[in-house]
Structure 1
Amino acid sequence: MNISIKNRIALISVISVAILSLVVFIAIYQSLKVSAFSEIDEKLEFEATKHIHELIFKKDTVYFAYAEELLEREHLEIEVYPIYIELVDTKKQLLVKSENLKNKSIILESNSTSREIFNTYVSEEPLRQIQIPLEKNGKIYGKIAIAVSSEDTLSVLKNLKNNLLAIYPILLLITFFASRYISKITIQPLTKITDTVSVISSENLNLRVHEIKGDDELSVLTKSINGFLDRIHASIEKEKQFTANASHQLRTPLTAIKGNLEVSLRRKRSIEEYEQHIQETIDRIDRLNLALDNLLILARIDEDAKSIKKEDVNLVEIINSKIKLFKATIEQKELKIIVQQELYTKMVTTNLYFLRIILENLLSNAIKYSLPKKTIHIYLKENKETISISISNTGGNLLKEDVKHVFDTFYRSTNNTEKGYGIGLALVQKAAKVLAYEILVELDKATTFTIQIPKKQLP
């Protein structure tokens, strides 16, 4: 069964108001009923006390001291406030009865030995009466009953009940339509949100729902939806960027590999020439694999950052392990690497995976772009707020205007003659951002990259 939100809210409101108003109406009715009968009961108690004091108990009987005056008084008061009085002995024999009762009787058959107040009818006239056993010195002499008409009270209560029953459905109808109208106004922002979200597609992911100010549920909802759209947008942009990057990086080496193979097939060559072409193809494939690895790391680095775990790491050991990684290239270029330390502690609390990305790429660049037979300096220095790792090399031909773009993906200096894809430093920048490290670049006689590790991350 499909029910709109407006009708659902209205229905819930009606049910709630129906239950609440029913409880309130019953409480009002019962409260007035108790109050009305309490007033009558007080009058009956007063009359009963007054008349009991006028009784005379003698031997086995009881009678009024001034029966004639009593009957005359009741006769005079009948039109103003009719009170019915009846007195019987223990054998249920009538002793005294007020004239307004005529041939009617209000004494009910009862074996109760305590006073009772209850409603009754005499000749279809509703009465409220008190019935009291007459006792003196432990002996029962009979009963006295005093009654008063409750017709007006019952009429008022009946009118009240009828009015409440008439108001009840009207109240529910008003509640339903009022709730429906209010809910329509309330869900207008939701309708606008739905209209906005329904037109958002991959072509216009920049659209956002209008954020509602405040701290209520609608405000939280709009912010959550916009946050969700931001994440989707970022994810799709990342996918587009990765596709563009991969296409850009794969096209050139694949074209070169294809050209190499086509040249090899144009004419018969010697075994040495084939081996040379095959080796060149293998080198290009190796570079292609490295580029793909870097592209994949670059694409998922943000996802990896969400589950980042930190551990205590020895900086000197990590740097030495990375130097050994490039041992063959270092020996081939006859480079010398000097590591200098000014540290109170060699340990930092960091994420080893991201720290390796930073050190490996910076050291790889320093070795790649360093002039042969030169020295690469690695400085580890601790000051008041940070631990810094500086990697300095001579060569690379990096220009001052290149510094602001050096961390851009695929950026390569026009003055650079070394083979590369311009991905390494982009990886360094992203990894540093994840770890909240700062990377500084200095150009002088040497090119120096410095990693600033905040001391707040130290153990």
Structure 2
Amino acid sequence: MNLSIKNRIAFISTLSVAVLSLLVFIAIYQSLKILSYSEIDEKLEFEATKHYNELLFEKDTVYFAYPEELLEREHLEIEVYPIYIELVNTEGKLLVKSDNLKSESIVNQTFKDPEKIFNTSASDKPLRQIQVELIKNDKDYGQLAIAVSIEDTQAVLQNLKQNLIAIYPILLLITFFGSRFISKITIRPLTKVADTVGIISAKNLNLRVKEIKGNDELSVLSRSINKFLDRIHESIEKEKQFTSNASHQLRTPLTAIKGNLEVLIRKKRTPEEYEETIEESIERIDRMNVALDNLLILARFDEDAKHLNKEEFDLIDLINFKIKLYKISIKEKKLKVRVNNQLKSLVIESNLHFFKIILDNLVSNAVKYSLPNQIISIDVFEKNTEILLSISNTGGDLKEEELHSIFEVFYRSKNTTEKGHGIGLALASKAAKLMGYSITVAVDQQTTFTLHIPKQQ
């Protein structure tokens, strides 16, 4: 059954009201019926007790001590609340009967219970009757039947039943259309959300659904959809950024390689010229591979940060290990690396993978941009609530006005002649932020990069 949300809500509401109101109507009818009959039964029991006490029991018969009682108006007329009385012996022979019964008989000859109240009829009129078996000194004298009319009671009950039956479908119709109208108003914000989501595409990902105030399900849904759109927008922007970055890094070397190869095939060259061009192309391809690896690391940072595991390691040992990796470059430029630390070892708890990225880029930059025969200083010390790791080198010609841009992707100083891609410091900066660290840079006679590590880390 393919129903809209409005009709489904209306249908479920109507079904619930149908069951509930049916139970309520039955309860009302039965309660009134029981109450009405209980009042009649009390009157019958009173009359039965009163008339039983007026009976005189003799050897083989029983009769009323005051027979004129039967001449009272309530026994003679068939009016409101008339009382019908009939007395028979054990053989079923009539002994006494009120005149309002006329030719009718109300005694049930098959009656066996000592006392029972039940419904019967006389002259096509409904009666409520009590029948008492007359036993005195263990001797059975016959039966006494007393009845009252319940015509008015049954008329009231019948009228109530008809009214409830008539009201029932009207109530269900009102419930259905009322629920449908209310549900339409209730889901109107949801319809607006759906309309907004329907027009969002890659061209207008900045659109957001109007958040619904409050803490109900619709407000939670609107906020969740906006957060979902934020994540999609962020992912697409990262994809665009990665594509742009990759294009930027690949286009120049590919153009250069293509140009070299085109020049190479225009005429025959010497083996040395072929070898020189091929080596230059291989070098450019290697640089492209390094650039792509760094771009992939940069693109995966946010996803890797969701699983940021920490472990303990010795910071001094890690620094010494990184220095050994650049031993060849250090010897070629005749550099000296001086590590100044307050302690021989310093154990910290951090993410080793991200920390290696930071340290590798800072050390490699210091070695790459240092002037020959200079000193690279690496200082590790504690200050207030931080552990500071500073790496200083002479060279690089970095200007004060460039400091706010050096952590941007692909930024390259205009004064440098060193080869690079402008990705390393961006990687180090992002890795530091993901771990709650920060990197500062100062330029004086030396260029100093300082990694700030909170002690609680």
TM-score higher than 0.5 here?
yes
Question: Shift of residue 163 of structure 1?
Answer: 0.6
The letter for the 1-side match of 2:237 is E
The letter for the 2-side match of 1:192 is K
- Separation of aligned partners in 1, 2:348 and 2:88: 107
2:180 corresponding residue in structure 1: 180
Could you say if the C-alpha distance between residues 348 and 126 of structure 1 is closer, same or farther in structure 2, counting changes exceeding 3 Å?
A: same
Helix, strand or coil at the partner of 2:456:
helix
1:96 corresponding residue in structure 2: 96
Q: Which moved more, 1:377-386 or 1:438-447?
A: 377-386
Question: Shift of residue 149 of structure 1?
Answer: 0.5
Helix, strand or coil at the partner of 1:404:
coil
Q: Which moved more, 1:108-117 or 1:188-197?
A: 108-117
The 8 Å contact of residues 344 and 382 in structure 1, kept in 2 or not, is answered as no
1:434 corresponding residue in structure 2: 434
The letter for the 2-side match of 1:333 is K
**Structure 1: tracts of 5 or more residues without a match:** none
Q: Which moved more, 1:412-421 or 1:237-246?
A: 412-421
The 8 Å contact of residues 407 and 426 in structure 1, kept in 2 or not, is answered as yes
- Separation of aligned partners in 1, 2:338 and 2:355: 20
1:57 corresponding residue in structure 2: 57
1:248 corresponding residue in structure 2: 248
Helix, strand or coil at the partner of 2:202:
coil
1:275 and 2:275 aligned: yes
1:312 and 2:319 aligned: no
- Separation of aligned partners in 2, 1:112 and 1:442: 115
2:163 corresponding residue in structure 1: 163
- Separation of aligned partners in 1, 2:383 and 2:88: 114
Could you say if the C-alpha distance between residues 138 and 322 of structure 1 is closer, same or farther in structure 2, counting changes exceeding 3 Å?
A: farther
Helix, strand or coil at the partner of 2:17:
helix
1:227 corresponding residue in structure 2: 227
1:443 corresponding residue in structure 2: 443
Could you say if the C-alpha distance between residues 141 and 386 of structure 1 is closer, same or farther in structure 2, counting changes exceeding 3 Å?
A: farther
1:391 corresponding residue in structure 2: 391
Q: Which moved more, 1:46-55 or 1:306-315?
A: 306-315
The 8 Å contact of residues 74 and 98 in structure 1, kept in 2 or not, is answered as no
Question: Shift of residue 427 of structure 1?
Answer: 0.9
Could you say if the C-alpha distance between residues 41 and 283 of structure 1 is closer, same or farther in structure 2, counting changes exceeding 3 Å?
A: same
CA-to-aligned-CA distance 1:313-340 (integer Å, 9 cap, x gap): 2222322222222222122112222222
Identity of aligned residues (%): 67
Helix, strand or coil at the partner of 1:456:
coil
Helix, strand or coil at the partner of 1:372:
coil
The letter for the 2-side match of 1:379 is D
**Structure 2: tracts of 5 or more residues without a match:** none
Question: Shift of residue 307 of structure 1?
Answer: 2.3
The letter for the 2-side match of 1:152 is D
1:122 corresponding residue in structure 2: 122
CA-to-aligned-CA distance 1:374-409 (integer Å, 9 cap, x gap): 222222223442222222222111111111111111
1:288 and 2:288 aligned: yes
1:353 corresponding residue in structure 2: 353
Could you say if the C-alpha distance between residues 73 and 170 of structure 1 is closer, same or farther in structure 2, counting changes exceeding 3 Å?
A: closer
Q: Which moved more, 1:436-445 or 1:312-321?
A: 312-321
Return the TM-score normalized by structure 1.
0.94
- Separation of aligned partners in 1, 2:111 and 2:147: 19
Could you say if the C-alpha distance between residues 341 and 57 of structure 1 is closer, same or farther in structure 2, counting changes exceeding 3 Å?
A: farther
Could you say if the C-alpha distance between residues 72 and 189 of structure 1 is closer, same or farther in structure 2, counting changes exceeding 3 Å?
A: closer
The letter for the 1-side match of 2:255 is T
The 8 Å contact of residues 84 and 98 in structure 1, kept in 2 or not, is answered as yes
Question: Shift of residue 232 of structure 1?
Answer: 1.1
- Separation of aligned partners in 1, 2:163 and 2:72: 41
Question: Shift of residue 258 of structure 1?
Answer: 2.2
Return the TM-score normalized by structure 2.
0.95
- Separation of aligned partners in 1, 2:164 and 2:11: 21
The letter for the 1-side match of 2:180 is R
1:18 and 2:18 aligned: yes
Helix, strand or coil at the partner of 2:147:
strand
The 8 Å contact of residues 316 and 345 in structure 2, kept in 1 or not, is answered as no
- Separation of aligned partners in 2, 1:381 and 1:136: 117
The 8 Å contact of residues 115 and 130 in structure 2, kept in 1 or not, is answered as yes
Could you say if the C-alpha distance between residues 37 and 277 of structure 1 is closer, same or farther in structure 2, counting changes exceeding 3 Å?
A: same
- Separation of aligned partners in 2, 1:264 and 1:78: 132
Question: Shift of residue 267 of structure 1?
Answer: 4.6
- Separation of aligned partners in 2, 1:11 and 1:278: 78
Helix, strand or coil at the partner of 1:224:
helix
- Separation of aligned partners in 2, 1:72 and 1:318: 120
Count the aligned residue pairs. 457
- Separation of aligned partners in 1, 2:328 and 2:57: 134
The letter for the 2-side match of 1:243 is T
Match runs of 1:416-427 below 5 Å: 416-427=416-427
The letter for the 2-side match of 1:159 is N
